[in-house]
């Protein structure tokens, strides 16, 4: 039985909440939401299990330690396993069946009706096979289910309604380590799925502080804060359990070390609408390799504002979202994408190269954009590191797997291994606790950050986890750093507000 493999405290959770038909496991990353939820399905004698997860975790097989299928093979029942789709020629509704499916495969994409959703036939087949039987649905990374009108949310709600019709007993579990990312409002939809009957208006009235923007109606006003937070968490605990890993597991200490450097002239050029004439002429002279002789300090329109490549318009940021994206990139030192990119400042790359050369160890390094990966890979290879890459379609962990197969004594002398992981791909679901050093090369939003730092700080970690965070001393990186400290996602609206604040302060 899988239940027998759980830690004692995990067994207590299963025993305590097994009677809950709808329940949220809002547990910190690394506490074992996967085996706990499957343990709940096991003790409830589930004949059918549907797991909704992100694509990278759906693709893992039973040999990937900690994966859904790894734990499922320990269940007390044998299941016919289907991944994303059901093989009609092999499917037997009378058997015990397990379907693991990603969010994008829940619904039919050719349905255009605005307010409706049609579940995929494979999913319906699994649901209908559960008639007069026990079924458990596990929704992993449930913080992705935010707005009531998203297709993912509509699919989950439609799936619930179908189960009420067909199943003898249905259990519904939501799993996340970060139940809210943009703010407490993220909890509303998840609580709705778990059975809370608040309307959106009632939820906002009781827990949200609305703005007062002229011209907007009451329901259109933005949320600017929260109130009655104690009452909100009491509400959450009626439908879910929230546990921090430090409360349940004696994990090692986390140490955060920042590696700052001064704001670059390129970032100032890019984000300043007006600049002294001599600063603009100095940059133009430098680029054209001509003599600089302007002495005027009078401010004028800056041609590099939102367009660092001036006079080219290759990287011109025409929209606010483009401006935010390009500003984040330039804070690292570049502009561009996977197909074409140009580096304007190598300060951060140089600092990283020096750091890795002077501090040989094993690392997980997180980054945001493909142009970063290309440069990082070259630096690590040049320094003689064994490089694994976990990004998008490129997922190679050969060196980490070799390291995991070494004895404790052999690991002491096996250094210079590094995993280059994209935040979007590697921050969720991976178990890399054999390494204890992590590098944050470029700042992420909080939802990615909270997940990423748990890739090494989780059950099985024996060493103090050290996080090295590279940051430029500009207003954008400082704003994103503050958002991480406040556990919220730095977004377009916050960026726009900071832009206006900086322009006001520098306009005089």
Which tens digits make up the pLDDT trace of 354-376?
999 999 999 999 999 999 999 99
Nearest alpha-carbon partner for 140 in 225, 36, 47: 36
- Looking at residue 359, its pLDDT comes to 93
449 secondary structure, DSSP code = H
Whole-prediction pTM: 0.64
- Looking at residue 373, its pLDDT comes to 95
Give 290's pLDDT tier (boundaries 50, 70, 90): confident
For 62-73, how does the pLDDT look when each residue is reduced to its tens digit (9 = 90+)? 888 788 999 999
- The answer to whether 101 and 121 are in contact (CB under 8 A) is no
- The answer to whether 235 and 242 are in contact (CB under 8 A) is no
- The answer to whether 72 and 79 are in contact (CB under 8 A) is yes
Tell me: pLDDT of 207 over 70.
yes
**CA angle, 162 then 167 then 172, to 5°:** 75
For 153-171, how does the pLDDT look when each residue is reduced to its tens digit (9 = 90+)? 889 988 988 888 888 889 9
Say what angle helices 320-332 and 475-485 make with each other, to 10 degrees.
100
- In angstroms, the Cα distances linking 57 to 34, 141, 391, 458 are 11, 11, 13, 18
CATH number listed for the domain at residues 254-260+345-494: 3.40.50.300
The residue ranking higher by pLDDT, 287 or 429, is 287
**CA angle, 498 then 502 then 504, to 5°:** 115
Q: Which residues contact 81 (CB under 8 A, 6 or more apart)?
A: 69, 72, 98, 100
Say what angle helices 8-17 and 33-43 make with each other, to 10 degrees.
50
Tell me: pLDDT of 507 over 70.
no
Q: Find the mean pLDDT for residues 471-486.
A: 93
Range in 108-117, 127-136, 365-374 with the lowest mean pLDDT: 108-117
Token digits of residue 336? 């561009």
Range in 13-17, 118-122, 401-405 with the lowest mean pLDDT: 118-122
- Looking at residue 243, its pLDDT comes to 74
Give 152's pLDDT tier (boundaries 50, 70, 90): confident
Outline where 149-198 has alpha helix (H).
Answer: 151-166, 187-193
Tell me: pLDDT of 246 over 60.
no
Residue bearing tokens 């080219």: 312
- Looking at residue 115, its pLDDT comes to 58
**Rounded Cα distance, 82 and 10, in Å:** 27
- Looking at residue 151, its pLDDT comes to 86
Tell me: pLDDT of 114 over 60.
no
- The answer to whether 374 and 344 are in contact (CB under 8 A) is no
Length of the chain in terms of residues written: 508
Residue 311, preceding peptide bond in cis (omega within 30° of 0): yes
Nearest alpha-carbon partner for 429 in 30, 136, 1: 30
Which range is most confident: 368-372, 445-449, 482-486? 368-372
- SS3 for 222? coil
Tell me: pLDDT of 218 over 80.
no
Q: Find the mean pLDDT for residues 143-149.
A: 81
Give 382's pLDDT tier (boundaries 50, 70, 90): very high
Token digits of residue 245? 């890993």
Tell me: pLDDT of 228 over 60.
yes
Q: Are strands 417-422 and 437-440 parallel, antiparallel or unpaired?
A: unpaired
- SS3 for 1? coil
- Looking at residue 173, its pLDDT comes to 95
User: DSSP for 28-83?
Assistant: PTTS-HHHHHHHHHHHTT-SEEEEEE-HHHHS--TTSTTSHHHHHTTSSS--EEEE
Q: Find the mean pLDDT for residues 482-508.
A: 83
Residue bearing tokens 């990423």: 452
Could you tell me which residues are beta bridge partners of residue 51? 100, 138
- Looking at residue 271, its pLDDT comes to 92
181 secondary structure, DSSP code = S
- In angstroms, the Cα distances linking 159 to 36, 93, 148, 336 are 22, 18, 14, 41
- Looking at residue 498, its pLDDT comes to 87
- Looking at residue 244, its pLDDT comes to 65
Q: SS3 letters for 103-114?
A: HHHCECCCCCCC
Could you tell me which residues are beta bridge partners of residue 97? 48, 80
Q: 3-246: which CATH architecture?
A: 3-Layer(aba) Sandwich (3.40)
- Looking at residue 285, its pLDDT comes to 84
The residue ranking higher by pLDDT, 111 or 163, is 163
Give 266's pLDDT tier (boundaries 50, 70, 90): very high
**Rounded Cα distance, 157 and 165, in Å:** 13
Give 112's pLDDT tier (boundaries 50, 70, 90): low
- In angstroms, the Cα distances linking 200 to 110, 222, 230 are 29, 14, 19
Give 504's pLDDT tier (boundaries 50, 70, 90): confident
Q: Find the mean pLDDT for residues 265-271.
A: 92
The greatest distance separating any two alpha carbons of the chain, rounded to the nearest whole angstrom, comes to 85
* Strand (E) or helix (H) holding 427: none
**Domain parsing of the chain, residue ranges:** 3-246, 254-260+345-494, 265-344
pLDDT above 90 as % of the chain: 47
Helix, strand and coil content of the chain, in percent to the nearest 5, comes to 40, 20, 40
Outline where 254-319 has alpha helix (H).
Answer: 265-271, 277-288
Tell me: pLDDT of 117 over 70.
yes
Range in 30-44, 236-250, 474-488 with the lowest mean pLDDT: 236-250
Could you tell me which residues are beta bridge partners of residue 472? 261
């Amino acid at each position: 039985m899988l239940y027998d493999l759980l830690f004692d405290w995990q067994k207590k959770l299963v025993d305590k909440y097994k009677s809950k038909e709808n329940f949220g496991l809002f547990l910190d990353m690394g506490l074992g939401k996967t085996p706990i939820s499957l343990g709940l399905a096991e003790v409830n004698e589930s004949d059918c299990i549907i797991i909704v997860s992100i694509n990278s975790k759906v693709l893992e097989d039973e040999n990937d330690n900690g994966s859904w299928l790894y734990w499922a093979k320990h269940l007390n029942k044998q299941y016919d396993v289907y991944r994303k789709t059901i093989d009609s020629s092999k499917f037997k509704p009378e058997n015990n069946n397990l379907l693991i499916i990603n969010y994008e495969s829940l619904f039919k994409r050719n349905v255009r009706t605005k307010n409706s959703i049609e579940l995929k036939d494979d999913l319906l087949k699994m649901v209908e096979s559960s008639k007069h039987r026990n079924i458990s649905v596990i929704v992993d990374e449930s913080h992705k289910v935010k707005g009531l009108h998203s297709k993912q949310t509509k699919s989950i709600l439609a799936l619930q309604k179908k189960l009420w019709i067909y199943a003898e007993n249905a259990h519904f579990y939501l799993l996340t380590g970060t139940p809210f990312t943009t703010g407490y409002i993220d909890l509303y939809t998840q609580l709705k799925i778990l059975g809370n009957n608040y309307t959106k208006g009632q939820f906002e009235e009781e827990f949200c502080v609305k703005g007062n923007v002229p011209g907007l109606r009451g329901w259109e006003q933005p949320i600017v804060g929260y109130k009655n937070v104690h009452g909100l968490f009491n509400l959450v605990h009626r439908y879910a359990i929230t546990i921090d890993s430090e409360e349940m597991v004696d994990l090692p200490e986390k140490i955060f070390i920042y590696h700052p450097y001064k704001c670059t002239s390129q970032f100032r050029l890019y984000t300043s609408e007006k600049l002294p004439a001599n600063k603009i002429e100095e940059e133009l002279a430098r680029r054209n390799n001509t003599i600089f002789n302007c002495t005027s300090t009078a401010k004028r329109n800056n041609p590099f504002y939102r367009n660092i490549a001036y006079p080219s318009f290759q990287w011109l940021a025409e929209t606010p979202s483009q401006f935010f994206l390009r500003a984040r990139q330039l804070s690292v030192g570049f502009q561009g994408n996977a197909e074409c990119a140009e580096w304007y400042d190598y300060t951060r790359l140089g600092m990283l190269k020096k750091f890795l050369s002077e501090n040989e160890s094993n690392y997980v390094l997180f980054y945001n954009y493909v142009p970063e990966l290309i440069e990082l890979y070259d630096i690590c290879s040049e320094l003689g590191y064994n490089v694994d890459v976990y990004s998008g379609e490129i997922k190679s962990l050969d060196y980490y797997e070799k390291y995991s197969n070494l004895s404790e004594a052999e690991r002491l002398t096996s250094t210079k291994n590094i995993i280059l992981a994209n935040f979007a791909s590697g921050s969720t679901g991976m178990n890399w606790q054999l390494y204890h050093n992590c590098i944050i090369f470029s700042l992420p939003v909080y939802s990615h950050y909270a997940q990423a730092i748990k890739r090494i700080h989780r059950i099985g970690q024996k060493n103090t986890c050290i996080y090295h965070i590279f940051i430029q001393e500009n207003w954008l990186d400082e704003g994103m750093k503050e958002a991480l400290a406040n556990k919220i996602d730095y977004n377009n609206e916050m960026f726009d507000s900071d832009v206006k604040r900086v322009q006001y302060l520098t306009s005089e």
